[in-house]
Amino acid sequence: MLALIATLAIQALVFMTVLTPPVLAALAAPDIGVASERIGLFTALVYVGAILSSAGSGALLARTGPLRLSQWCLGFCAAGMSVAALGFLPAVVLGAVLMGLGYGPVTPASSHILIRQTAPQRRSLVFSLKQTGVPLGGALAGFIAAPLGLMIGWRAAALAVAIASLTLALAVSPLRHRFDTGDNVGETTVRSPLEGIRLVVRTPALRRLALSSTTFAATQLSMATFLVTFLTERAAMPLVTAGLVMAVAQGCGIAGRILLGWVADRSLRPGRVLALLGISMAAASVTTGLISSAWPLPSIFVVTGILGFTGLSWNGVYLAEVAVIAPPGAAGAATGGALSVTFLGIVLGPALFSAVVSFTGSYALAFSIVAAGALTGGLLAWSVGRP
């Protein structure tokens, strides 16, 4: 329980820091001198940094221990936020990269802790509970950063979030004697920064899992990025209502993470759960693309709720299975290598979705292409078998 609380808090605050710039974009853009929609480039830079740092997570864990590495993650996110708050474009770019460097290793570090602190029959559920820190961090960014930005200005709000990250980094220091000693460090055998990538490439089950997660991540981020715009532009839905639809979809995702973690532990093999999720999110994506202004509102809530439930709930089951399949002492490295592949979907998925809509004007086609990817990912996950 202590490990779960600590890793959940760290995950939530790191993700809150990463999502605060998009929340504050409308306020910050005039001062920086860019259009607010360019925030997508900031997010892409964050995940480029995350790809680089997650790939080297195994070597970092070997040198620092998982909790110390988590503290460094919070520190890098705080530094990136502080630099970006300077408000001129080069500083914003540097801040995005620093935040990405902090974001990348936080999940591998938590996996390294939880795989040793959790009984096998509860791993998928515990990992799924920890991964609720991602939507929780997004909610915190919306509920805290946005009002702060209106009250005290975007720069001060950004610095307040940075201070919160540093405060948590200090607050978890007393736990180092428990999580950064013994087998949490002594069994960490990975020394090369690229060992996590090598583990994924040479282990067929990890390779298939990582590739499937790329398609799932593309679906998740495409929905998060474009659902509100799609509903307002093509379904003639008021912005407030579209925001409510998005919030309900996110809530379904949180519920899905917990429920499917429980199911994976008790009823089905995790690979089968991920496969069924891929098939279901493909069907939900295609159906979502067919929404129009003629649809009754309850039907829209149902369809997007199913998309949220399937498209946001795979993470914990996926990470738990990666940690289980990884060689002894290499759960963090394997997670980092797998996430480097996962993050490619986050970077490329929304970009592909945007390009399809720009060139064809069809959201239905864009949702269908995303669905084809999710279906492929589901088939890959079905073939995963534990060694």
Rounded mean pLDDT of 246-275? 79
Confidence of residue 141 (pLDDT cuts 50, 70, 90): confident
pLDDT over 90 percentage in the chain: 24
Tell me how far apart the alpha carbons of residues 376 and 59 are, in angstroms, rounded to a whole number.
32
What architecture (CATH level 2) is domain 2-186?
Up-down Bundle (1.20)
Tell me how far apart the alpha carbons of residues 174 and 178 are, in angstroms, rounded to a whole number.
8
Higher pLDDT, 293 or 351: 293
Higher pLDDT, 267 or 338: 338
Specify whether the CB–CB gap between 249 and 307 falls below 8 A: yes
Q: How far is CA 2 from the centre of its chain?
A: 22
Specify whether the CB–CB gap between 182 and 295 falls below 8 A: no
Residue-level pLDDT at 206: 87
- Using DSSP, state whether 303 is helix, strand or coil: helix
Which one, of 100, 105, 98, 103, lies nearest residue 67 by Cα?
105
Rounded mean pLDDT of 170-183? 79
Confidence of residue 267 (pLDDT cuts 50, 70, 90): low
* pLDDT reading at 164 higher than 70: yes
**Type of residue numbered 342:** T
Domain ranges of the chain: 2-186, 195-382
**pTM summary value:** 0.72
Assess whether the region 2-186 and the region 195-382 belong to the same CATH fold. yes
**Tokens 């940094």, residue?**
49
Tell me how far apart the alpha carbons of residues 42 and 285 are, in angstroms, rounded to a whole number.
26
The CATH label, of 3.40.50.11540, 1.10.3210.10, 3.30.1490.270, 1.20.1250.20, for the domain at 195-382 is 1.20.1250.20
Which one, of 256, 300, 265, 37, lies nearest residue 135 by Cα?
256
Specify whether the CB–CB gap between 381 and 310 falls below 8 A: no
**Type of residue numbered 171:** A
Q: Which residues of 276-291 are buried (b: 16+ CB within 10 A; e: fewer)?
A: bbbbbbbbbbbbbbeb
Neighbouring residues of 248: CB distance < 8 A, sequence distance ≥ 6: 301, 304, 305, 308
pLDDT over 70 percentage in the chain: 90
Helices (H) and strands (E) in the chain, counts: 20, 0
